[in-house]
Structure 1
Amino acid sequence: MEYLRNHTDIKIPLIQSYGTREECPPNLGPFIIMEYAPNSGTMGKAIGMPTANGARFMLNPDVNEDKLYRAYSHMAEILLQLSKLEFSKTGSLVDRGDEQWDIAGRPITYDMNETVQLGSLPRSKLPHGTFDTSSSFLEACAKLHCDHFEHQRNDALSSEADGEEKYTQRLLFRKYLQSRSNSHSSHDSGQFKLWCDDLRPSNVLVDDNLSVVSVIDWEFTYAAPPEFSNAPPWWLLLVEPEKHESGVDAWAEEYDSRLKIFLAALKEQEAAMVARGTLRRDQILSNDMKKSWESGDFWVMLSCSCLHRMHD
């Protein structure tokens, strides 16, 4: 968060204090204290509506298109600013002091946290160190799928057939990534972009005019393969494909229509930033996002960033 405050115009709250459970006076648990940003709620709430079970928000089907365009526009600007931050390898930022930052730690992803905390995966199975190529990181993601399957609790499977299907899915997914790496070998290394697994409208605080006042929840942020940034964001409908009440196919159909609005908003932001001299033409994302969706690469990147999505 400190790095983002110093290297972007994204509205990041100032951290007052943070620490482990042992450093918390009541010994309650890890804590973080940051400045309060007066707000009217989250962007997700502004353009969404509760799902049938009330557990999460989904995009309001009757949302005003101008309002949606404005919301997508603000999110697009955040994505563009993140994608401008480039590094020579994949991993987590380490503060070396005196404004010196380096990618020196293993990527701490949302997926890794969930599989250890909830999925019975031993910490020893997590990837170690940084990654110099996209293919090596994607291979580590595929291996994590397989390791998670091996160590998950028995009740995660509904039947022997269910287990065979999920095991086969993982092997095919890993094989596909290996073949993909071979065909993309000429583009395997290069500038990796800062990426946050948990960036979505529900973590963006806005005012009454839908202007962004603060962006929170950055803990799963790391330098990732450029393919992640080049894929359109899953959160355009607020709800994940596998959690859509009408199924994945219905999600994809609705997503396609909303993606057109998002890409239009993104292109407008890109043109404005290029005109201001704050974005190079080779940093434009809209063309790559369109190709990612049309080619199906979108689904591959989505599966790499979240284990349970692969099954659907």
Structure 2
Amino acid sequence: MTAYDMIAEADSDDECRLWVRKLIDARDDVVAFVDSRLDGQGTGKYLGFFKGSFNLSFHIGFGEGKPSVLIRFAKPGHTFMAWRDEKVTNEVRVIEYLREHTTIPLPHVRCWGLTDESPAQLGPFIIMDFIEGVRLSTFLKEPSEDDQADLILNPAIEEATLDTIYDQLADYILQISQLEFSSIGAISKDARSGTWSVTGRPLTFNMNELATNTGYPADQFPNAPFTRASDYFHALADHHTLHLRTQRNLSASNDEPDARRRFIARHQFRQLIPKHCTTTDEGGPFKLFCDDLQPANMLLNPTTLRITALLDFEFTNSAPAQFAHDPPWWLLLRGPDMWLDNHGSLDMFLERYVPRMEQFLKALERVEAKGEGGGGGEVGRDGSVVMAMGGGGDCGRRLSARMRESWETGQFWFDYAARTSLDIDDIYWAALHDNEVDGDGIDGLDAATRAEMEELVKLKMEQRRAYNEAYDIRFPDDESE
């Protein structure tokens, strides 16, 4: 993954640390606030805290055997400050929608509110039931004595254990894949009619990463829903291009070839949109998709192997259907970007990922067969089934068949690159670029595009020099840059 702007990241961390101290100082007020909201009659007691990437939660218990709860706050700095209310509002709505339309185990939201309703103006909050369980990623990870070791699926895990877990996850993913909307963006419920629709812009994980850690101008993100998939993909390409121009340390000092490499990757990604934005899905229906649905945000009972909750739906939107048709990127716990960072190629990722993908797709096929009444009906070579809606069929095709097709055609890699500006360069060159046809990519650029590239190279070299000077002032004793 491309390194963050270390100055922007440090500023975000400083903002978060100041807020955490404020939260700790207000601990008793927070407990009293939760007690009053839930009519705890003064029995509320602080039991501990839980820290996530974007949120910090206090665990609060009550007397007389009442269930305990979490009050969860969005952390400023790690969540872009101006978006915290929007993020929490979107998440609460998604949880409510999923509780209405699926059997996925989800936390019960007792109440929630925005910054102006919170104790000590700490920020938007959700009060939800505390759910027992260990993080699924912790249960599945390869054992290591190194606390800083990469989170990797344990290669020695028993197949039967994974099958039990995959069967549940396949069921949940299949249910989510059946939820459709007519636009791309954040969903909400009409208070009068009770109907759900897309009413806001898509707020994504990638947008938050760019806004908090790279110096990307947050006012340049879209502020309305999309009605066409191609328009959305062009907006994502705009994110990639503007990120390249605005993150000052995106290329190393005096490394002009690296700047050209990044320009070509992002330019060529835009050229791939007509190939990978399928016309059948262009105008919808669009599918609910969670950027951050992964084992780190799932709880498991390690004794029964039952998943007790799926958590953290803050970056969930109605999105292009093809995102929902990709095999899960997290089957090895971390995505391919980590393997590219540490090993420089996709070979090791593919060696481990493909068998787990096949295992997951077989689990998905079992779930689909149950939904079809035990697998009745002839299945075509392309995965089409007689009952279009049976077992999660989509226009007559099984989700498992669509996922296989996504992998075989390279759609998976295009979609993955589309969602992450920090990884797009490595993903493009490793999985999307055709070396035999396009060589280094420069010959395929016309004169105007080459001129644009050289202007960008000059800009990146100037930016890097200015960044290095600013870095030395910000971190005078650090020699890592």
Q: TM-score, normalised by structure 2?
A: 0.61
Q: Check if 1:166 corresponds to 2:280.
A: no
Q: 1:102 aligns with which of 176, 182, 197?
A: 197
Q: Is the 8 A contact 2:244 2:250 kept in 1?
A: no
CA deviation after TM superposition for structure 1 residue 160, in Å: 2.7
Q: Can you list the C-alpha shifts for 1:183-208, whole angstroms capped at 9, x where unaligned?
A: x3354223111110000111111112
Other-structure match for 2:208: 113
Q: Check if 1:176 corresponds to 2:240.
A: no
Q: Is the 8 A contact 2:177 2:392 kept in 1?
A: no
Other-structure match for 1:210: 305
Q: How does 1:223-262 map to 2 (within 5 A)?
A: 223-244=318-339, 245-246=342-343, 247-262=345-360
AA aligned to 1:279 is G
How many residue pairs get matched?
308
Q: Is the 8 A contact 1:75 1:201 kept in 2?
A: no
**Structure 1 CA distance, aligned partners of 2:111 and 2:372?**
37
Q: Check if 1:138 corresponds to 2:233.
A: yes
Other-structure match for 2:294: 200
AA aligned to 1:170 is R
Q: Is the 8 A contact 2:244 2:263 kept in 1?
A: yes
CA deviation after TM superposition for structure 1 residue 53, in Å: 5.9
AA aligned to 2:213 is L
Other-structure match for 2:412: 298
CA deviation after TM superposition for structure 1 residue 50, in Å: 5.7
**Structure 1 CA distance, aligned partners of 2:135 and 2:109?**
20
Other-structure match for 1:311: 425
AA aligned to 1:63 is I
Other-structure match for 2:436: none
Q: Can you list the C-alpha shifts for 1:100-157, whole angstroms capped at 9, x where unaligned?
A: 22101111111111111212122221123111122111111111111111121x2232
| Runs of 4+ residues deviating >6 angstroms | none
Other-structure match for 2:135: 42
**Structure 1 CA distance, aligned partners of 2:280 and 2:286?**
15
Q: 1:91 aligns with which of 185, 207, 210?
A: 185
Q: Is the 8 A contact 1:14 1:34 kept in 2?
A: yes
More divergent stretch after superposition (193-202 vs 276-285): 276-285
Any idea what SS the aligned residue of 1:235 has?
coil
Any idea what SS the aligned residue of 2:337 has?
helix
Q: 1:270 aligns with which of 368, 388, 393?
A: 368
Cα gap change, 1:173 to 1:117, in 2 (>3 Å): same
Cα gap change, 1:71 to 1:186, in 2 (>3 Å): closer
Q: Can you list the C-alpha shifts for 1:213-267, whole angstroms capped at 9, x where unaligned?
A: 1110000111111110111110011111121243422102211111111111110
Other-structure match for 2:449: none
Q: Is the 8 A contact 1:50 1:57 kept in 2?
A: no
**Structure 2 CA distance, aligned partners of 1:265 and 1:161?**
45
**Structure 2 CA distance, aligned partners of 1:278 and 1:243?**
37
More divergent stretch after superposition (119-128 vs 138-147): 119-128
Cα gap change, 1:249 to 1:136, in 2 (>3 Å): same
Any idea what SS the aligned residue of 1:287 has?
helix
Structure with higher Rg: it is 2
Q: Is the 8 A contact 1:231 1:298 kept in 2?
A: yes
Any idea what SS the aligned residue of 2:323 has?
helix
CA deviation after TM superposition for structure 1 residue 59, in Å: 0.4
AA aligned to 1:252 is L
Q: Check if 1:30 corresponds to 2:114.
A: no
CA deviation after TM superposition for structure 1 residue 167, in Å: 1.5
Cα gap change, 1:278 to 1:203, in 2 (>3 Å): farther
**Structure 1 CA distance, aligned partners of 2:331 and 2:275?**
30
Q: How does 1:58-77 map to 2 (within 5 A)?
A: 58-77=152-171
**Structure 1 CA distance, aligned partners of 2:310 and 2:333?**
16
**Structure 2 CA distance, aligned partners of 1:80 and 1:147?**
35
Any idea what SS the aligned residue of 1:212 has?
strand
Q: TM-score, normalised by structure 1?
A: 0.92
Other-structure match for 2:393: 281
More divergent stretch after superposition (95-104 vs 274-283): 274-283
Any idea what SS the aligned residue of 1:168 has?
helix
Any idea what SS the aligned residue of 2:362 has?
helix
Any idea what SS the aligned residue of 2:190 has?
strand
AA aligned to 1:70 is T
Q: How does 1:2-21 map to 2 (within 5 A)?
A: 2-21=96-115
CA deviation after TM superposition for structure 1 residue 27, in Å: 3.1
Identity %: 34
Q: Can you list the C-alpha shifts for 1:252-300, whole angstroms capped at 9, x where unaligned?
A: 2211111111111110011112228863533621001011111111100
Cα gap change, 1:280 to 1:83, in 2 (>3 Å): closer
**Structure 2 CA distance, aligned partners of 1:54 and 1:173?**
33
Alignment gaps of 5+ in structure 2:
1-94, 375-388, 427-481
